[in-house]
Structure 1
Amino acid sequence: MVEVTVTPQSSLADRPVQVKVRGLSPSQLVTLRASLTDELGHRFQSRTFFRADGAGEVDPGHHAALGGSYTGVWPMGPFWFLQPDTLFQRLIKRDVAGSPFLVRLEVFDGLSLATSPQDQPLASCEAERWYVGPGVQRVPIREGKVRGALFLPPGPGPFPGVIDLFGGAGGLIEFRAGLLASRGFAVLALAFFAYDDLPRNMLELNLEYFEEAANLLLRHPKVRGTGLGVIGVSKGAEVALAMATFLPQVVATVWINGTAYIHGTPLIYKDLHIPPIPYYGERLLFMEMGAMDNSAVFGDPRDPAYSASAIPVEKVRGKVLFIVGEADRSYNSKLFAELAMARMPAGSCRLLSYRGAGHLIEPPCSPLCSISRIRASPWLVLWGGEAQPHAKAQEHSWQEIIQFLKLHLGSVATTKL
């Protein structure tokens, strides 16, 4: 009797599981399909071909995939190489605290690029992939001007605090905050436009809003009040670097594929005003499938005319971890990271640069999204990246992020799942 299992059957989405197929004939060719449906009804799936070993077993952690969604030995390949049935969809967990993603694994006889509803699998099972661990609490935040969601690990604390920021699409994205809280951090997923009663569009970057959020987090009775961390990607990385520069509350910053200059909208903080480098929309490039390549819209930051727009990172007092995807097609992220590091105090920063990785470097539960739609753009956006090196970058960088935050914010207690 053929059997497919996932161990553990229920797990956090950033943690590895073991997939095994047993009961096949020796050397039998099979297709292993993984699929899930997100909250909007979009289906994502991977479909990979294997040859059973002499014992009639398939283990993606030891047996090389022959083709399909990927090739080679990838223990988490069926999960990491999920792709949408409908083009240009990004896999994002929206209902973070309420339910897991349910990933269905099915084994079919032979090599199949497509199956019909009439095709019966030899075996199937379902895996739960959670974005919060047991006991993690989600608290909506609507205090003063601050809007977001606070994720608290179980127990009395105090826990090290982290502010989590995303980019130019706006809104509130919570999946990374939930996973970080499951690792023992108190995490404020912070919206800064296009959410609740915040401005629909970002007209200025007022650092006093982020200072208010930092103080709110540090005042919480379950948050260790000795300084906090910030993690941001894209426009959120630009904000995070500004916070690290001007706010003494910030002692550890993770910057993922962003800039080191103020772009598009001015930065305002008390009496300070940093003018932006304008976006040059006429330089937009339209690439495969009509997707927009943003990288050319940024003026060359090395132009002396833009020197007033530089974030004065030489004032950074904490530590900064720069994470770069060298195949980023949205920003020239490596250039921005290198320019920032050249002006920073010795020993204050570190660079992780990944060949083949694109713009959206996320926890390892997230398959590569190289092209998608975002709220702020009428066109498809080209993020870049190649599936296999991007997956490796996400796996490695996530562990580095966790260790960096632990090192500079203090020890944490993790949940078991």
Structure 2
Amino acid sequence: MASIAVSPPTSLVTDKVDIRVTGLGKQQPVTLTAAVQYSRDAQFQSHAHYAADSSGSVVCSRHAAVGGSFSGVEQMGLLWSLQPAAAQRVKRMIPRDVTKPLEVQLCVYDGHIDTRRGQDGVPAPLASCVVERRFIRDGVRRIVVREGRVRGVLYLPEEEGPFPGVIDMYGSGANFEHRAALLSCQGFAAFRLMYCNFDDLPKAETHLDSEYFTDAVDWFSSHSLVQPGGVGVVGTSFGGLLALIMGTLTDKAIARMEAHGKTNHQLLAYPGAGHLLEPPYMPHCKISFHPIPGAEVDWGGETRAHCAAQEDLWPRMIAFLRNSRLHSQL
């Protein structure tokens, strides 16, 4: 009898898992699927075609997919290739509540089929299981920050600290917290700095005050649970632009850059990647609604190259933040 198993069954979204199917016939063609019910009206799906080996097994880390959402040997392919169901409005699979794990249903079907066409004519799966993908570890502390006019959410690891500090920002009022939560799982005090559309902040970023960001840096860098020696900044989209600007807002930052000959940096280029680089194994968002133009925006990128960039970038970013902290930009 066929069975599908994932090890570990519960993990962070940034961690690899082992997906394998056993109990198949020799060289039996099968389809593996993944599905996430993101909300009542939104589902993300992927599928891949395989042929079982001589022992009747499929191991995603060793065996090549021969078609479907991706091809070749891709251990995490079923997860990074998840895409929105046809015609649904929600295009981006970002958690609204980082304390709630994503539940991914994995199924294996006999033959090479395309389950994206709906349930009509799709046979019952040979086996299935549910995997939990988490954005936060047990024990991580989430603290809403209201310090003077500074607003945001602080994530602290379970340990006593102090910790290296990182400020995290997204763009255009997108108050996502998943990256800050995941950074705390790497041992950082991660401050998700909000600058609009949160609490009593303005709804849009049309009138930003540079002193707001220096106030945030001053408060965060002096926090008792943040290690001295400077803090790092991570940003995406407009948040990335703000991160670059913040690196020039203090005399200390400029003095450090000049004193070190501007050598404390890395420049990474990822041909084929799109605009919205997320932590590894999260799906490539090709198109989504943007509130500023009030329309859908094409974020670019080719899915395989984009997801490979995410996998490569995350450990490099973590290492850079750890190694550069004592010579940090802020």
Q: Same fold (TM over 0.5)?
A: yes
Residue ranges of structure 1 left out of the alignment (5+ in a row): 251-314, 320-343, 411-417
1:214 and 1:249 in contact (8 A); partners too:
no
Task: Give the Å deviation of 1:316.
Answer: 6.9
Deviations, residues 343-378 of structure 1 (Å, cap 9, x unaligned): x94413221001110101111131111111122222
Please report the RMSD computed on the Cα atoms of aligned residues, expressed in angstroms. 1.9
Give the aligned partner of residue 374 of structure 1. 290
The answer for the alignment partner of 2:103 in structure 1 is: 102
d(CA) in 2 for partners of 1:401, 1:202 = 27
The code of the aligned residue for 2:77 comes to G
Amino acid at match of 2:23: G
TM superposition score normalised by structure 2: 0.92
Q: Which moved more, 1:109-118 or 1:7-16?
A: 109-118
CA separation in 2, counterparts of 1:377 and 1:4? 44
1:152 aligns with 2:153: no
AA aligned opposite 2:170: F
Contact persistence 2:107–2:125 (CA under 8 A): yes
Counterpart CA distance in 2 for 1:132 and 1:395 is 18
Q: String of CA shifts for 1:10-41, please: whole Å, max 9, x gaps.
A: 10111100100000001111110101122464
Secondary structure of 1:89's counterpart equals coil
Aligned pair partner of 1:234 in 234, 237, 259:
237
Gap change, CA 1:93 and 1:316, over 3 Å in 2: farther
Residue 401 (str. 1) matches residue 317 (str. 2): yes
> Structure 1 pair 160/18, CA: closer, same or farther in 2 (3 Å)?
same
Give the letter for the 1:45 counterpart. Answer: Q
> How many Å separate the matches in 1 of 2:291 and 2:144?
23
Aligned to 1:66: 66
CA distance in 2, matches of 1:349, 1:73: 33
Are the counterparts in 2 of residues 316 and 345 from structure 1 also a CA contact under 8 Å?
no
Tell me which residue corresponds to 1:80: 80
Q: Does 2:228 align with 1:225? A: yes
Instruction: Please give the TM-score of this superposition, normalised by the length of structure 1.
Output: 0.73
Q: Trace 1:145-224 onto structure 2 (pairs within 5 A).
A: 145-168=149-172, 170-224=173-227
Going from structure 1 to structure 2, the CA distance change for 1:125 and 1:144 (only over 3 Å counts) comes to same
Distance 1:248 1:105, change over 3 A: farther
- Structure 2 unaligned spans of 5+: none
Aligned partner of 1:354 in structure 2 is 270
Distance in 1, Cα, partners of 2:10 & 2:36: 15
- Give distance in 1, aligned partners of 2:236 and 2:255: 18
Helix, strand or coil at the partner of 1:351: coil
CA gap 1:373/1:231 in 2 versus in 1, 3 angstroms: same
Aligned length: 320
Are the equivalent residues in 1 in contact too, given 2:76–2:281 (CA < 8 A)?
no
Task: Confirm or deny: 8 A CA contact 1:104 1:124 kept in the other structure.
Answer: yes
- Alpha-carbon contact 2:137-2:185 (below 8 Å) kept: yes
Give the drift of 1:94: 1.4
Tell whether the 8 Å contact from 2:214 to 2:249 is kept in structure 1 after alignment.
Answer: no
Aligned amino acid, residue 256 of structure 2: R
Task: Work out the CA distance in 2 between the residues paired with 1:365 and 1:136.
Answer: 22
Q: How far does residue 234 in structure 1 lie from its aligned partner after superposition?
A: 1.4
Cα distance, 1:227–1:135 mapped onto 2, change above 3 Å: same
After superposition, residues 171-320 of structure 1 pair within 5 angstroms as: 171-247=174-250, 315=254, 317-318=256-257
- Change in CA separation of 1:142 and 1:249 when aligned onto 2, cut-off 3 Å: farther
Change (3 A) 1:41 1:223: farther
The answer as to whether partners of 1:104 and 1:125 remain within 8 angstroms in 2 is: yes
Which residue number corresponds to residue 276 of structure 1?
A: none
Tell me the residue number matched to 1:92: 94
| In structure 1, distance between residues paired with 2:54 and 2:251 | 61
How far off is 1:220 after superposition? 2.3
Letter in 2 for 1:44: F
1:44 matched to 2:44? The reply is yes
| Alpha-carbon shift at residue 155 of structure 1 (Å) | 1.2
Higher relative contact order (CA 8 A, sep 6+): 2
Summarize the Cα distance change of 1:30–1:142 in structure 2 as closer, same or farther, 3 Å threshold: same
Change (3 A) 1:249 1:26: farther
> In structure 1, the residue corresponding to 2:131 is in which secondary structure?
strand
SS in 1 for 2:212: helix
Worse overlay, 174-183 or 30-39: 30-39
2:255 and 2:61 map into 1 onto residues whose CA distance is: 43
CA contact (8 A) 2:169 2:192 kept: yes
Matched residue SS, 1:157: coil
Q: Report if the CA contact (8 A) 1:88-1:371 is conserved.
A: no
Asked if structure 1 preserves the Cα contact closer than 8 Å seen for 2:27 and 2:52, the reply is: yes
Give me the whole-angstrom Cα distance separating, in 1, the residues matched to 2:90 and 2:3.
Answer: 34
1:223 match: secondary structure: coil
User: d(CA) in 2 for partners of 1:248 and 1:16?
Assistant: 42
Q: How does 1:334-353 map to 2 (within 5 A)?
A: 345-353=261-269
Alignment-mate amino acid for residue 105 of structure 1: L
